[in-house]
């Protein structure tokens, strides 16, 4: 790594150069605005604020998942289990509601189960030196297996409280409305952003991602933090699962297959380095919004086939990864 700062390139673009660490997030933001702009020009009704609000509602669960994933990836780890954890959460919720448990208990049980799964994986990773990839892979299989044990078939959720939350929304000035689940997801983003930016735990997460041996030598609580991020990811996955259950009003073992990939893609597009140590939760939120916009694009167009979503996501991940590579090489 060279110590001398590179000159030119950025300075040539304009006088104003934002702090380098915000560049990836700003890039994602620009991409999102650009996509929305292009959509607004091409399709009638695309630029309507309600489209944006619906985007938040449709992706509320993914936003929460991406928040948890951001914590894990910031420490340089990865969590493959979140998709299965979502499916498990929807099933636990649906099954316990079917048995007539009170809603508060159901929510508590789901969140506890997800957090426990995350914690168990964190313990395996930290205390037995099992690679995050393998430990969370085991968690992924475990959660899917448990799903099938609970029920092979889809279970509908008929609980009134759940339906009320699912369809509830707040009305914004101008007659626009925002679903409760979307508000919820945004609150989670806010809390996570605060935790990462201004708490001891959050700063330790960044330190761990920067260099684990250094963090250890500095006397930072490495064990608690490392297990903690997986617990947080498990908690977020369970919460995402609840939001997904609200979104689909059902529990099914085949829900959310491959959703971990979407979450990882959103985090990468949001500018978080997969090697850890750099990134922001807000970036992940923007990443999810970009993914959602692609889907909105395709549904507005009508002539594009659904598989273009996946191809576009792949291309975006590629572009961002290459950009990251170029940026980190220069710094």
Partner 1 sequence: MPDPRTSGTGRTGRALAGRAFAHRLFWPLAALGALLVVNVIATPTFFNVRIQDGHLFGSLVDIVRNGAPVLLVAIGMTLVIATRGIDLSVGAVAAIAGAVACVYIVKSPASGAAGTAIVAITTALAVCVALGLWNGFLVSVIGIQPIIATLVLMVAGRGIAMLVTGGQITTVNNDTFAALASGYLLTLPVAALIALGVFAATQVVVRRTALGMLIESVGINPEASRLAGVRSRTIIWTVYVFAALCAGTAGLIIAANTHSVNANSLGLWIELDAILAVVIGGTSLAGGRFSLAGSLVGAMLIATLTRTIPNIGIPAEANYLFKALVVVMVCLLQSPKARAVLQRRGERPAGPPSPSSREEAVA
Q: Does 223 bind partner 1 (CB under 8 A)?
A: no
**DSSP code at position 245:** H
Residue pair 245/162 in contact by the 8 Å Cβ criterion? yes
| Exposed / middle / buried, residue 209 (Cβ in 10 Å: 0-12, 13-18, 19+) | buried
Residue pair 282/193 in contact by the 8 Å Cβ criterion? yes
Nearest to 189, CA basis, from 102, 274, 266? 266
Among 67, 124, 189, 256, binds partner 1 (CB under 8 A): 124
Stretch that binds partner 1, among 61-69, 146-154, 175-183, 213-221 (CB under 8 A): 146-154
Whichever of 124 and 185 has its CB closer to partner 1, that residue is 124
Cα 232-220-135 angle, rounded to 5 deg: 40
- Residue 250: beta bridge partners? 156
The structure tokens 């995350």 sit at 118
Number of residues that bind partner 1 (CB under 8 A): 47
Six token digits for residue 60: 């509320």
Whichever of 36 and 320 has its CB closer to partner 1, that residue is 320
The structure tokens 């700063």 sit at 203
Among 15, 128, 153, 219, binds partner 1 (CB under 8 A): 128
Q: Min. distance of Cβ 229 from partner 1 in angstroms? A: 18
Which value, to the nearest 10 degrees, does the dihedral of the CA atoms of residues 247, 250, 252, 254 take?
-30
Whichever of 136 and 225 has its CB closer to partner 1, that residue is 136
Q: Does 331 bind partner 1 (CB under 8 A)?
A: no
Whichever of 80 and 188 has its CB closer to partner 1, that residue is 80
Q: Is 277 left (phi over 0), alpha (psi -120 to 50) or beta?
A: left
Stretch that binds partner 1, among 95-103, 221-229, 230-238, 261-269 (CB under 8 A): 261-269
Among 253, 272, 293, 296, binds partner 1 (CB under 8 A): 253
Interaction residues for partner 1, span 19-48 (CB under 8 A): none
Among 118, 139, 279, 283, binds partner 1 (CB under 8 A): 139
Whichever of 172 and 257 has its CB closer to partner 1, that residue is 257
H/E segment holding residue 274: none
Interaction residues for partner 1, span 296-325 (CB under 8 A): 305-311, 313-315, 317-318, 321-322, 325
Q: Does 108 bind partner 1 (CB under 8 A)?
A: no
**Helix (DSSP H) and strand (DSSP E) numbers for the chain:** 15, 4
Neighbours of 101 (CB within 10 A): 16
Six token digits for residue 270: 């949001």
Instruction: Name, in order, each residue with C-beta under 8 angstroms of 213's C-beta and a sequence gap of 6 or more.
Output: none
Whichever of 224 and 317 has its CB closer to partner 1, that residue is 317
Stretch that binds partner 1, among 54-62, 122-130, 161-169, 295-303 (CB under 8 A): 122-130
Whichever of 211 and 309 has its CB closer to partner 1, that residue is 309
Residues 179-218, one symbol each (x = binds partner 1 by CB under 8 A, - = not), give: ----------------------------------------
Whichever of 95 and 310 has its CB closer to partner 1, that residue is 310
Residue pair 166/246 in contact by the 8 Å Cβ criterion? yes
Whichever of 83 and 240 has its CB closer to partner 1, that residue is 83
Q: Are strands 250-251 and 155-156 parallel, antiparallel or unpaired?
A: antiparallel
3-class secondary structure, 120 = helix
Contact positions vs partner 1 (CB under 8 A):
78, 80, 124, 127-131, 133-135, 137-142, 144-146, 148-149, 152, 253, 257, 261, 264-265, 268, 274-275, 305-311, 313-315, 317-318, 321-322, 325, 329
């Amino acid at each position: 790594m060279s110590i001398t700062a590179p000159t030119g390139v950025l300075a040539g673009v304009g006088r104003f150069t934002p702090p380098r660490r915000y560049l990836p997030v700003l890039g994602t933001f620009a991409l999102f605005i650009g996509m929305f702009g292009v959509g607004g020009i091409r399709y009638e009704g695309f630029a309507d604020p309600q489209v944006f609000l619906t985007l938040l509602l449709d992706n509320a669960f993914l936003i929460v998942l991406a928040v948890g994933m951001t914590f894990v990836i910031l420490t340089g780890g990865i969590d493959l289990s979140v998709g299965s954890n979502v499916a498990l959460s929807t099933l636990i919720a649906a099954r316990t509601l079917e048995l007539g448990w009170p809603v508060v208990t159901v929510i508590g049980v789901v969140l506890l189960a997800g957090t426990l799964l995350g914690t168990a994986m964190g313990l395996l990773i930290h205390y037995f030196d099992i690679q995050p990839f393998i430990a969370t892979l085991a968690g992924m299989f475990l959660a899917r297996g448990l799903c099938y044990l609970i029920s092979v078939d889809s279970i509908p959720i008929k609980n009134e409280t759940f339906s009320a939350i699912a369809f509830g929304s707040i009305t914004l000035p101008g007659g626009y409305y925002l679903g409760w689940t979307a508000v919820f997801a945004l609150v989670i983003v806010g809390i996570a952003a605060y935790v990462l930016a201004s708490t001891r735990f959050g700063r330790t997460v960044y330190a761990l991602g920067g260099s684990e041996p250094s963090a250890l030598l500095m006397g930072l609580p490495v064990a608690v933090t490392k297990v903690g991020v997986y617990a947080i990811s498990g908690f977020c996955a369970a919460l995402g699962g609840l939001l997904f259950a609200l979104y689909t009003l059902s529990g099914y073992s085949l829900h959310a297959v491959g959703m971990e990939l979407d979450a990882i893609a959103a985090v990468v597009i949001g500018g978080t380095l997969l090697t850890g140590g750099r990134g922001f939760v807000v970036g992940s939120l923007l990443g999810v919004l970009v993914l959602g916009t692609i889907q909105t694009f395709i549904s507005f167009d009508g002539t594009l086939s659904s598989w273009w979503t996946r191809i576009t996501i792949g291309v975006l991940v590629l572009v961002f990864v290459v950009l990251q590579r170029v940026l980190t090489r220069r710094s």
